[in-house]
Amino acid sequence: MSSPFEVLGVEPDADEATIVRAYRRRVKETHPDQGGSAREFQAVKEAYERIRAGDVDSEPAADDDKPAARRAESAGGGSRDSTSGGAQDSTENRENADRSDTPASGPDADRDAATTSRVEFVNHAVLDDHGWALDDEDLFEKAADADLAPEDHGAFEVEPGESLLEAAERHGFAWPFSCRGGACANCAVLLREGELSQPADHILPEELIEENIRLSCNGEPLTDELQVVYNVKHLPRLESLRLPPGPFEFSRTD
């Protein structure tokens, strides 16, 4: 069986930056949208997680007891139903993900886990049309006064245990995504207020986390109120983390 380093194509003494670059390259190469397979994609994710955890000597736990379809979903494979099925399928995907979340901060960090969260959103695609900028302090006030289409500005509630992307889909919004596993930035959002969890096996570098970029596919609200700008995948600093549009992505044409 190949070692985690062999799976990523790096030497055992590779530094962290080299490992991260190799991981980003390999998840793109093995992604089912790009001609890879669910098994290869999952193997790359598991190899990266083992290297990060320092678990490079022991054998990975066998997952032959999981149904094949379930393993494929956890690797980002499978089709997307643009109505209700996509959100239901992604719930199973999320159950297989690493649930080791980024610690919350702020007054709402210890909120009741059974509490719903309210998310107000703005579509990044409309900013240029109105001469707005991401760092405008009154961005959401401007959006509220601009009579935007429902998909460009609005609000919805996220249920406990539900990712931001799942909640958007449940409410009928077609937000961008590709892998649904934290391995690309197609589903990225910018947090303006509140906090969103981020499982440990995501692809975002620390500098983007510090800039309040999060992934909607596996991030769950940690605060009662959030304001997010979605569809930010075309920001230049996210270019290298995007996957080309595939059969699993359904988003507004920019």
Output the domain CATH number for residue 149: 3.10.20.30
Q: Mean pLDDT, to the nearest integer, of 139-157?
A: 97
Q: Mean pLDDT, to the nearest integer, of 202-228?
A: 94
Q: Are residues 233 and 171 in the same domain?
A: yes
For 131, left (φ over 0), alpha (ψ -120 to 50), or beta?
A: left
Distance CA 233, CA 216 (A): 11
pLDDT at 110 over 90: no
- Report the chain's mean pLDDT, rounded to a whole number: 77
- Which domain-ending residue is among 15, 49, 78? 78
pLDDT at 196 over 80: yes
Q: Are residues 121 and 237 in the same domain?
A: yes
pLDDT at 80 over 50: no
Q: Are residues 132 and 39 in the same domain?
A: no
- Which domain-ending residue is among 27, 51, 78? 78
Distance CA 4, CA 169 (A): 35
Q: Mean pLDDT, to the nearest integer, of 205-219?
A: 93
Residue 59 — very low, low, confident or very high, per pLDDT cuts 50/70/90? Answer: low
Residue 69 — very low, low, confident or very high, per pLDDT cuts 50/70/90? Answer: very low
pLDDT at 149 over 70: yes
State residue 131's pLDDT score. Answer: 97
- Enclosing domain of residue 223: 117-241
Q: CB count, 10 Å around CB of 97?
A: 19
Q: Structure pTM?
A: 0.58
State residue 66's pLDDT score. Answer: 38
Q: Mean pLDDT, to the nearest integer, of 188-197?
A: 96
Q: Within a domain: residue 94?
A: no
Distance CA 152, CA 87 (A): 20
Specify the CATH number for the domain of residue 45.
Answer: 1.10.287
What is the tally of structural domains in the chain? Answer: 2
For 46, left (φ over 0), alpha (ψ -120 to 50), or beta?
A: alpha
Residue 70 — very low, low, confident or very high, per pLDDT cuts 50/70/90? Answer: very low
Residue 238 — very low, low, confident or very high, per pLDDT cuts 50/70/90? Answer: very high
- Which domain-ending residue is among 62, 78, 94? 78
| 24 in Cβ contact with 203 (< 8 Å) | yes
Q: Are residues 152 and 233 in the same domain?
A: yes
pLDDT at 71 over 90: no
